[in-house]
Structures are given as structure tokens and as C-alpha cells.
Chains A and B, each alone.
Chain A
Amino acid sequence: MGLFEAQSKVTSSDRSEIESVKTSAEGTPNFSLKDSAVTASETGIRNFPTTMAKQNPPAASQLIMFYGGSVSVYDAVSPEKAQAIMLIAAATAVASRASANKTASVAAATKAPAVVGSDAAAKAAQSPAAPVLTRTLSFLSSSASAEGALVKQPQLASNSSSSLSKLQAELPIARRHSLQRFLEKRRDRVVSKAPYASSKPLDTAEMASEAQTQLI
């Protein structure tokens, strides 16, 4: 399931990362990408042994990846898609490095339902990641014409997203700001002076709530 299965693959897999990037044609019948997918499609994938990589200079829209001792070349990859793939690679590389340092927090994250909450994840998403990603991209774009440009070997973190996604995130229903303020003010008034001057069956309830608010 999923288009970019690269993420769920374990590092030790010997297969090329590229082979696992499936297109809609190969994916499960329910999914379909409206926009043109990464054209790592039937027409584009070629697997060369490393020695042959130097023969053809890369065209402008060609994406070449070195992984696990083999090279894959993709034709006609749009710039946006190429950046997306590079970002995924860089992001998982950072994340796996961070998670290697903090295995405890990663374990905690798998238990917490659907929270991108572990320090590792937060750090990965924030500034440490950004310079890494920018560096990677600028390096690649400047050497686009160079032959045999070496992409950073991505380490595919064993992602526990599948277990996270099954757990439902239950967020408390948020209250509208204006009403929140009114209810807070009303609680203050209940505490500070006698509410509801008329005698109502609610008197006992009000006294109970007064006691409650004073305990807070």
C-alpha cells in the first residue's frame, strides 16, 4: 500500500530504493494519482551496472539515483517531483540519524497515538532539517550537469507510521474563542458575587459549582 514504499522499507534491503517507488499502475486498484506521478514508470526505469553510468550525459529532466551498488535513471521527471524525491530522501536521512540518537523517544512515539510528538521528530522537522535539505538540493542542482553525481546514501528509517495511522487521534473539540471568554467570565462572576438574583431550582447546583470553581 502506498506510493512511496521506500519509506517503509528497512535499511538492510538489498533491492534498489527505486524499484520500490511504484506508480499508480502498479499500486493497489483503489488509489489513483490525478496528477502525473513520478514517471518512474514502465518507460523510464533503466538499471545500469555502475560502469555504464558514464556513457550518457544526463538530460535536463533526467533523474539518476545511485543506491546499493546500482544506478537507476528516470527520464522526464518534472522539477517539482525531483525536488520532492530529494526532500523525502534527505528528510528520512535526517530522521533516521536523529532517531538513532534517541531510540527511547522513538519508542515512545510509536505508543503515542498519531502524534508527531517525539523530540526526534520535532527536531527533524525543524531547523536542523532545513539546512540539511537546502544543502542537499543546492549541491544537486549545481552538479546537475556533472556525470555520476553522487547522491547522499539515504538511510531508510524503519517507519512505524503504519501502526500510528491505525490509532485514532482524538482531539478534544475546540471551543470558539468568543464563547470561551464568555464562559470564563461567567465562572469568575459565579465565584465573586451572587448569580441569578431570582430564586431558581438551580440554586443548589450553583452552590455546588461555586464550590467547584473555588477548588480550582
Chain B
Amino acid sequence: MERRNCRMRLEVPDSALELVLGYLDDPRDREAVSLVCRRWYHIDTRSRKKVTIAICYSTNPDRLRRRFPNLESLKLKGKPRAAMFNLIPEEWGGYAGPWVRGLAESLSCLKSVHFRRMIIEDEDIAVLVRARGDKLKSIKIDKCSGFSTNGLMTIARSCKNITTLFLEESSIADDNNNDNRWIRVLALNNSVLEALNFYMTDLRVTPQDLELLARNCKSLASLKISECDISCLIHFFQEATSLEEFGGGSFNDQVGETNKYETVKFPPKLCCVGLIYMGTNEMHLLFPFAASLKKLDLQYTFLHTEDHCQLIQRCPNLEVLEVRDVIGDRGLEVVARTCKKLKRFRIERGDDEQGLEDEQGRVTQVGLSMLAQGCPELEYLAVYVSDITNAALEALGTFSKNLCDFRLVLLDREEKITDLPLDNGVRSLLRGCTKLRRFALYLRPGGLSDLGLAYIGEYSSNVRWILMGSVGDSDVGLLRFSRGCPHLQKLELRSCCFSEHALAIAAQQLPSLRYLWVQGYGASQNGASFLAMTRRYWNIEFIPPSKDTASNEAGDRRGEAQILAYYSLVGRRTDCPESVIPLLPA
């Protein structure tokens, strides 16, 4: 009686609740909201704007449409991440067709689509454009294949309102009939384009079309193109006054042609740059505005270690830096000294062949330790090292408190590594970097013991994605690892010694696991041990070893067997090619 009087229930109308919940964008918050009660579930259903489907076979268009009818933005991923490393057969799957056909008409609010590592055909693009046309704001066809410049022409003709067209690293067939003037058509039909990206594609570029684009799309802030000589873009740079980001192009200095690039002048607001084949002779072109550079991509340049030092010391405002390990420890010292605002840093792997890379082009614990101390704002660090110590990892744990994403690969250039195993260093890093959500560690036999694996399990409290290569001594390590990692959703393992039994058990033990990819394990003759991880909604696919690997390296075993397992609400997929064998559901 008394209790009843004290309980005051505040009736919040749905509209108000919807308004409040509308401020929640983070998918994790949204997920939590939908689990509170039925009413909140329905409000979330009606108001959810953005969804990312990490593997397109986990659900189907119909379910998505019913669950979130008012979706505005959809991101779909197809092939496993390993596809970016040429490890997945091209015909593996990830077809955008069914999604486009199932959603283009029915999702009436859809404005933004992003297909990543999928197969999409010209006809699919046509269906999408026919259904959504003017209403589309952003189209991203990211690392996809299966379409041609015809599809681009379709977009160019009909999507008058797109502000973003992103095609980076896609395989796009050149339809010779078009003569590749889709950019021209785009420029004629669209005046609001802000970002156009066909970086790392083989598309041909006509400089005049880019100039037209610059003239007609005054808001063009970001342009990343395929290879096209920079000297042909001089007029474009003059026209594109709003340009803040430019990537691609190319330098092709012939012997005897010393003044080809002297008149190149970049747009005034340019602060994000990545120029292909840029060499020692051309890098001075960046000096006039180096101090305002925020993003710099040197992965595809011909710069030596000393060049990196010369350039980067002029860039105190750098926030994103991508290089190959030619930068060396010397370059890292300069970065640590100069780039105090650095947030994202990627150090890729250079050429292995002797003489093609600078002799000083090696990154080791020396550079890494300096980097940790010098750049406390680091959130993302991916590095290929030639040598490493526990102390360097401890330094990261001590100083890099903002690290969310850390990836370390130990190259096999040196036979002897200074300090292995890395058990204690890894532990310190994980304990120190409490914000870590993504973690990759690719070592060699002896690089991390079973104890080290247990540490990873114990101390990766927030980590959602882990990639490990060549770690651990035995199944014991894997099983201890899988006792921990409470939030691990996606696990990729390569070149480890674990047996099928252990992998199956580990998959069962990891409480949040929803995706598993493994290549290089103690395989039995028939993959049957994996059936020990049978459970409802868990798809298991087996890719048998491929006989024709496209590599020249002797003893290359990229074609080794793979296992892919993921949660799916819609059962086994029906479009497996011959190279993929679904084991379960039967």
C-alpha cells in the first residue's frame, strides 16, 4: 500500500523516447537498447539508421528489411579479411546481387551503401540506381570485383546527389566502348560531389575530365585516383580550390627531364597527400605546405630512409602516417620527435629482395620504444618489425595509453631475434593499453609460449578482434587463451600448431566468439574434428588446400586448408563454389 503510493511511474511517450534514443549512434548502445524491453526494441527497430553486417551470410535481406525498415545506411562485408592478402579464392562468394535486389526497393530511406570485399555486377549497380537513384548520397564499392566501367557510367548518369563515390582497390573491368568518360558524365550531372576515390584501381584517367569535375563540383574536398602523371594534373590542381585530400597520380621522371614537375603547385587547403612513385627529387614539392599536413601516405613512394627523415621533420601536425619499413629506426626517431599529434601509424613491409630497399630500412625495438615515448596520442599502430624485445612492448604498455588497435608482425629477415619469447612484453602491453579493441600478433615458432597465450586470454578484456600467427607451443596454450578474452568476437589464426580438436574446443569456450578463420593448423585428413564445435546457428566451411597457387616462391603454401566458421541466422549458404565445402549445417 505504502509502496504503491511511493512508486511514481513516469509515462514517457514513444515519440519522446524515439527522440532521445535517436541520439544513440553507437551500435553497441543500440544493441543494449533493443534488449531492455519490447517497447524499446520496437522503437529501436523503427529508428535504427545504420547497420554493419560483418559477414553477409549471417543473415538475409528479408530479415534485415523486417528488422530495420527505416535503415538509411548499410555496410555489408563479404569475403574474409584474408582476401586482402590473396588467401581467399576469387570465386569464394559474397555476392551483392541478392542484397541489392532484396533491399533497393523495400528500404525506402536508404541513402548510403557500402559493399566491402564483395562481388557486384553491373546489373546489380543498375538495379540499385534504378531503385534509389537521386536519393543516394554515398556509394562505396570497396575492394570489390565483378563490375566494369559500365556500372560506373550508370552511377554517373543517374546519381545526381551523391556526395561520395568510393571505389578504392576494386577490380574494375574496362569497357572499351565507354572510352572511360564516366568521370566526364559524372562531372556533367553532379555538382555536389565531395569525395571521389578510385585509388589503387587500374582505371584510366583523362586529366580534362578531372578539370571539368573540379570546375563543376566546387565542394570537391577529396580526390584519390589511379596512376596518372602528376605533370598532367597541373591544371586540375589550379581548378580544385577546395581540395583538402589528394592521393594517387604518379611520378615518372625520365633521365634528362629534370623540370617536368617544377610548375606543379598544389591547392591551398591540401593537407592529406599520398603520391605514387614520388622520389627524392620530387618530395620537395610537399615542403611548402608540409607544416599543415595531417595525413601522409608514403607506402607507394621511392623515398629512402634519409628522405623520410627530411620530409617528416617538417610535419609537426601529422595525425595519420603510412609508410613502408624503409623509414627505419632513424625515421621513427624523427617521428617521435616531431609528430606529437600522431594518431594513426602504419609501417608496412617493404621488399625482401636485397638492394631494392634502403639498407637502413629496418624497424626494430629501438624505433618502437622511441615512438611509444614520443607519440602519446597514438590510437592505431600497425608495424612490421625486423627485431623486437619485451622492453619495447612494455614501453608501449607504459606510454601508449590511447592505443585501440595494435598490430605487430615479426618479419623473418633475421634468424636471431634479440628477445624471445615475448610473453612478458605482451602482458605488459595488454595490461597497460586498456582501450585496446583490436590486436594482431604474427611471430614465429618460439615467439610466444603457451604462457604468453594464456596472458593474452587473461588480459585482453576489451579486445574484439584478434589475429595471431605462429604463436604458442601446443594446444594447451590455445585452450588457456580461450578461457579468457571475454569480448572476443572475431578470431583469425594462421600458421599455428594447434590441432583441430583444440580449435573446436576453443571456439566453444570463447564466450563472445561469432567468427573464426584458421589457416595452417594440425589438420586431420577430413576435417571431422571440427564437428566437435557443432552448435545451433554455427556455419562451418572448409576450404581444401588449393593446388594452383599464384606465387613464384618455392615452398609457398598459401594454398593450405582453411576453416571458416560464423554465426548465421539463415543456415548454410547456397552459393558455395567448388573450392568451398560447407561442413555444417548439413
- Residue numbers of A with Cβ under 8 A of B are 1-4, 7, 30-35, 80-81, 83-84, 87-88, 91-92, 94-95, 99, 106, 109, 114-118, 120-122, 124-126, 129-130, 133-134, 137, 157, 159, 161-162, 164-183, 186-187, 189-190, 193-198, 200, 202, 205-206, 208-209, 212
Closest chain B residue to A99, Cβ basis? B525
Nearest-neighbour CB distance to chain B for A79, whole angstroms, equals 9
Per-position 1/0 for B249-289, Cβ under 8 A of A = 00001110010000000000000000011011100000000
CB-CB < 8 A to B175: which residues of A?
A: none
Q: CA–CA, A109 to B525, complex, Å?
A: 9
Q: CA–CA, A187 to B235, complex, Å?
A: 31
Given contacts A168-B470, A186-B356, contact A173 B409 (CB under 8 A): yes
Given contacts A126-B544, A212-B355, contact A170 B521 (CB under 8 A): no
Nearest-neighbour CB distance to chain B for A131, whole angstroms, equals 13
The secondary structure that dominates the A interface is: helix
Nearest-neighbour CB distance to chain B for A37, whole angstroms, equals 9
Q: Are A83 and B528 in contact, with the CB atoms below 8 A? A: no
Q: CA–CA, A157 to B524, complex, Å?
A: 11
Given contacts A7-B524, A169-B521, A177-B84, contact A197 B351 (CB under 8 A): no
Given contacts A3-B501, A32-B509, A88-B531, contact A114 B521 (CB under 8 A): yes
Q: Which 10 A-B pairs have the closest CB atoms?
A: A165-B522, A169-B520, A165-B499, A174-B85, A209-B355, A205-B355, A116-B523, A171-B495, A121-B525, A161-B524
Per-position 1/0 for B512-532, Cβ under 8 A of A = 000000011111111111011
Cβ of B11 within 8 Å of any chain A Cβ, yes or no, is no
Q: CA–CA, A89 to B453, complex, Å?
A: 33
Q: Are A80 and B534 in contact, with the CB atoms below 8 A? A: yes
Given contacts A83-B586, A173-B442, contact A115 B557 (CB under 8 A): yes
Nearest-neighbour CB distance to chain A for B405, whole angstroms, equals 16
Q: CA–CA, A197 to B255, complex, Å?
A: 7
A88-B531, A118-B525, A174-B494 given; 15 more Cβ-contact pairs under 8 Å? A80-B535, A92-B526, A114-B522, A116-B524, A117-B545, A165-B475, A165-B497, A166-B522, A168-B470, A172-B558, A173-B349, A186-B356, A193-B254, A196-B302, A212-B354
Q: Are B522 and A176 in contact, with the CB atoms below 8 A? A: no
Cβ of B496 within 8 Å of any chain A Cβ, yes or no, is yes
Per-position 1/0 for B282-322, Cβ under 8 A of A = 00000000000000000110101000000000000000000
Sampled A-B contacts (10; CB under 8 Å): A99-B525, A114-B497, A170-B444, A171-B469, A171-B557, A172-B553, A172-B558, A183-B351, A193-B254, A198-B281
Cβ of B229 within 8 Å of any chain A Cβ, yes or no, is no
Stretch of B58-66, B134-142, B371-379, B577-585 contacting A (4+ beta carbons < 8 Å)? B577-585
Q: CA–CA, A179 to B442, complex, Å?
A: 18
CB-CB < 8 A to A202: which residues of B?
A: 304, 355, 358-359
**Of B494, B520, B526, which is within 8 A of A91 by CB?**
B526
**Of A122, A164, A212, which is within 8 A of B524 by CB?**
A164
Q: CA–CA, A198 to B519, complex, Å?
A: 44
Closest chain B residue to A27, Cβ basis? B505
Cβ of B353 within 8 Å of any chain A Cβ, yes or no, is yes
Q: Are B531 and A87 in contact, with the CB atoms below 8 A? A: yes
Q: Are B505 and A179 in contact, with the CB atoms below 8 A? A: no
Q: Are B302 and A4 in contact, with the CB atoms below 8 A? A: no
Cβ of B200 within 8 Å of any chain A Cβ, yes or no, is yes
Q: Are A197 and B519 in contact, with the CB atoms below 8 A? A: no
Closest chain A residue to B525, Cβ basis? A121
Q: Are A200 and B86 in contact, with the CB atoms below 8 A? A: no
CB-CB < 8 A to A2: which residues of B?
A: 501, 529
**Of B86, B412, B586, which is within 8 A of A133 by CB?**
B586
Q: Are A115 and B536 in contact, with the CB atoms below 8 A? A: no
Nearest-neighbour CB distance to chain B for A103, whole angstroms, equals 13
Nearest-neighbour CB distance to chain B for A104, whole angstroms, equals 14
Q: CA–CA, A115 to B494, complex, Å?
A: 13
Nearest-neighbour CB distance to chain B for A209, whole angstroms, equals 4
Most A CB atoms within 10 A — which of B444, B519, B560?
Answer: B560
Q: Are A3 and B532 in contact, with the CB atoms below 8 A? A: yes
Q: CA–CA, A172 to B349, complex, Å?
A: 13
Cβ of B169 within 8 Å of any chain A Cβ, yes or no, is yes
Q: CA–CA, A38 to B348, complex, Å?
A: 47
Cβ of B500 within 8 Å of any chain A Cβ, yes or no, is yes
Nearest-neighbour CB distance to chain B for A139, whole angstroms, equals 13
Q: CA–CA, A187 to B304, complex, Å?
A: 16
Nearest-neighbour CB distance to chain A for B161, whole angstroms, equals 30
Cβ of B445 within 8 Å of any chain A Cβ, yes or no, is yes
Nearest-neighbour CB distance to chain B for A202, whole angstroms, equals 7
Q: Are B495 and A179 in contact, with the CB atoms below 8 A? A: no
Cβ of B237 within 8 Å of any chain A Cβ, yes or no, is no
Closest chain A residue to B504, Cβ basis? A3
Most A CB atoms within 10 A — which of B444, B555, B557?
Answer: B557
CB-CB < 8 A to B511: which residues of A?
A: 34
Cβ of B476 within 8 Å of any chain A Cβ, yes or no, is yes
CB-CB < 8 A to B560: which residues of A?
A: 115-117, 169, 171
Q: CA–CA, A3 to B553, complex, Å?
A: 39
CB-CB < 8 A to B442: which residues of A?
A: 173
Cβ of B33 within 8 Å of any chain A Cβ, yes or no, is no
Most B CB atoms within 10 A — which of A34, A91, A95, A171?
Answer: A171
Cβ of B411 within 8 Å of any chain A Cβ, yes or no, is yes
Q: Are A125 and B544 in contact, with the CB atoms below 8 A? A: yes
Cβ of B87 within 8 Å of any chain A Cβ, yes or no, is yes
Q: CA–CA, A125 to B540, complex, Å?
A: 13
Q: CA–CA, A198 to B255, complex, Å?
A: 10
Per-position 1/0 for B427-469, Cβ under 8 A of A = 0000000000000001011000000000000000000000001
